[in-house]
Structure 1
Amino acid sequence: MEQAELTALLTAQGLRMVDEIGPLATTGEVAAAVSRLRGAGHSPDLVAAVVGQAHLRTRAAAKFGPFADRMLFTRAGLEQATRLEIAARHAARFRDAGLTRVADLGCGIGGDALGFAGIGLDVVAVDADETTAALAAYNLAPFGEAATVRHGLAEDVDLAGVDAVWLDPARRTAGHSETSRTRPEDWSPSLDWVFDLAARMPVGVKLGPGLDRGLIPDDVEAQWISVDGSTIELVLWSGALRRDGVRRSALVVRTGAAHEITAASDADDEPVRELGAFVHEPEGAVIRARLIGDVARELQAGMLGEGIAYLTSDAALTSPFVQSFRVREAMPLKVPTINAALRWNGIGTLEIKKRGVDVDPAQFRRKLTLKGDASATLILTRVGEGKAAQRLALLVDRV
């Protein structure tokens, strides 16, 4: 968002128009709204700002629910914002630790700050980008003096009177629309600065789930989070925010229900075993936290293949930390063989999953003949270990 658009938007007329225009979900709806508003004589900056916000509010509903209808966004800010249900869980950890005044450094459009303020904590939100800080101030305005927003660098914030810090280092290039990832040494603030602060006071640090584990300090709790099948973030907790005896955790949230597995260290994997009656796919947070072994023991399962994050068992058990499938048929990973099985079973709707094999599921699907009313899942993977490992296709059904 350009400064001229922001100036046009943050007026009584601009904000009223955003509220009145309603949701704009498709490019056709966006184009029609632009034509209508331009035809009514509104300036290009005002039209671009109003239509852009209406479209972003529609997309933001997935993260912020009904709160999105009164918020303002940039495209990049929305993409990088924490989902409100997760922000609320983060905030609860601060509250439960007895911490009442939080500095949110790198606040973006204010997603996490909403979580803090929403449960009654005082929050000082800071962002290095002036436009983003202005939008955060608007989004947090309903909380009055309990939530203040400043434009500035995280490193320059006076933390006197602050109980704890929430940090979301800038891990992408600057901008309000298209951005790209940067290297850890180029983040702002730097990881060295973040970890030095975390050693001195309670800090929560939001990072990408694929962070090199070698960068994680020994004295923090590392919590990976999956929501509705997507692994969304890694949070490092220090000081009073770290739970006693916990260094690894995986939080899995599906349709609003949360489940967590914790451990003092990485879990040892179970041995590879023969294919059983069930196959289990661990959630991404469990895989990242390296707690697959603990989940396997809960399911009386073993590894399906060497270095492959699938489990297999004969026990009719499942858990919130896996997606479970009943094996219908196992066959060589060969298109003619698979097509014969699909025809025999009348499979017209097919979900394709793969691990440990160099296959593009979209391209592989084009080689398959799908006809019939039945549905199933096809897992393409490597089974076994060493020289005995095989490439197999497993026709399975979700449990």
Structure 2
Amino acid sequence: MAEFADYTWLIEDEAAAAWLARLADDSRPALKQLDHLRRELPAQRARLIVEQTELRRRATAKFADDAARMFFLPVLLEQATDRWIGRYKAARFQTAAPGALIHDYCCGLGGDLIAIAQNNPCRAWDQSPLACLFASANLQATCETSAAQRTSVHQSNVEQLTPAPNEPWHVDPDRRVTGRRSTTIEQHAPGLEIIDRWLAHSSSSAVKLAPATEPPAEWAQNAELEWITSHRECRQLVAWIGSLATSPGRRRATIVNTDDKNSDQLVTATFAGKPDIPFTISDQTHGYLYDPDPSIMAAGLLGALAAQNHLKSLGPGGAYLTGDQPINDPLLQSFAVQDCLPLRVPAVAQHLAARGVGRVEIKKRGVTLDPEKFRRDLKLRGDHEATVVLTRIGKRQVAIIAQRTPTPRG
């Protein structure tokens, strides 16, 4: 097993940097790379070089070009806030507390820290010596000198710390205290008791949670709960509290993507409202079908969004929404409905064949069949495309034939 000195060598030694640069463009399988490096390096250090090379490749999805200069551990990479969501969150700290010192508790490898430090002086804390080592290295690798100089990383048991009244803070609690991931905040570290103590000293805070976490009732009343998605995947829930809450007592669903032509340009869309507003149920499709973003579903804002846009749901669970008018909203993927058929392969195949459809996008919700087997059974031929939505309307299983319409990114 690698020791702390091996990780320090990985980050600070010129020989390690040379090996990382050499393997960055090496397409050989990892086992062959490892076999070669073991002739030159101790076994543990050879393994660290090969592992780090693979982690950097995987991390490109979260940190783009910066990944090639950063350092990662498997679990910390999985838990890290990506570059774009980090920037989105950091902007709120900058707006609510310009120039204020921000504490980043449980900083991990520094995903949020790097973003916050671009605008505010920051003091980061983590109980893990390795996390602090990696966060410090990543801060130096990605931030301008001025930002790195006004930021520090400290190893400490964060449960023993207390923020000053004028110092906002961010925390990403450990959700694997028992070795298994938990969405119960009382089982996190720091837990609810510690977080409440911090809030009593400084209420301006952001608590990062898993999307499925059920926040305390008091937070639901006083905080702003924001579910954030990227590329149709719900990534995190943030509880904004105190001066960082722009809409206290409301829920927010937000998309954070990047511009197709400029990966540094954020493209966002957001909707705030009250949760669990009842929606009208329709027993038929109308001219357009809408697939809500996962952040809308996670935040319980489907009824509020449907009411704002005069839409109806196709079922009690709100699987899809439908309406007569086209809606230009990044939080709603839009489809122009062409027909609604019983969910039977012969009926769907005949309909598509008559229109020369040879390629289909299949979306499924509320039914148990295998989409790929359904696709094969259709035996498609033709030059045209269509979207087939397999779902329920009441007790009926249906196949909705539609054409995807352009959805703005934000």
| Superposed counterparts of 1:227-376, under 5 Å | 227-244=230-247, 247-255=250-258, 256-263=266-273, 265-266=274-275, 268-273=277-282, 274-362=284-372, 364-376=374-386
Is the contact between residue 183 and residue 214 of structure 2 (CA under 8 Å) also seen in structure 1?
A: no
Counterpart-to-counterpart distance in 1, 2:88 and 2:392 = 37
* Rounded Cα–Cα distance in structure 1 between residues aligned with 2:74 and 2:133: 15
Correspondent of 2:401 among 388, 395, 399: 395
Deviations 1:159-214 (A, max 9, x none): 3486111010111258xxxx741352321111332244335421101111111256
Structural mapping, 1:51-130, within 5 Å: 51-98=50-97, 100-119=100-119, 121-130=120-129
Give the Cα–Cα distance (whole angstroms) in 2 for the partners of residues 370 and 165 of structure 1: 56
1:172 and 2:172 are equivalent in the alignment: no
- AA aligned to 1:285 is S
Partner letter of residue 158 of structure 2?
A
- After TM superposition, the score normalised by the length of structure 2 is 0.86
1:68 partner SS: helix
How far off its partner does 1:246 sit? 5.3
Cα distance in 1, alignment partners of residues 365 and 285 from structure 2: 15
Equivalent position of 1:50 in the other structure? 49
Q: Which residue of 2 aligns with 1:379?
A: 389
Q: Shift in Å at residue 398 of structure 1?
A: 0.7
Q: Residues 200 and 359 (structure 1 numbering): CA distance in 2 closer, same or farther, change over 3 Å?
A: farther
Amino acid at match of 2:344: K
- For structure 2, the residue ranges without an aligned partner over 5 or more in a row are 259-265, 406-410
Check conservation: 1:208, 1:232, Cα contact below 8 A: yes
Residue 221 of structure 2 aligns to a residue in which SS?
coil
> How much is the aligned-residue C-alpha RMSD, in angstroms?
2.4
The separation in 2 between residues aligned to 1:275 and 1:30, in whole angstroms, is: 52
Aligned-pair distance for 1:223? Answer: 0.6
What is the TM-score normalised by the length of structure 1? 0.88
Q: Does 2:181 correspond to 1:187?
A: no
Match of 1:17 among 16, 19, 33: 19
Q: What is the CA–CA distance in structure 2 between the aligned matches of 1:181 and 1:354, rounded to whole Å?
A: 28
* Percent identical residues: 31
Q: CA deviation at 1:248?
A: 1.0
Unaligned residue ranges in structure 1 (runs of 5+): none
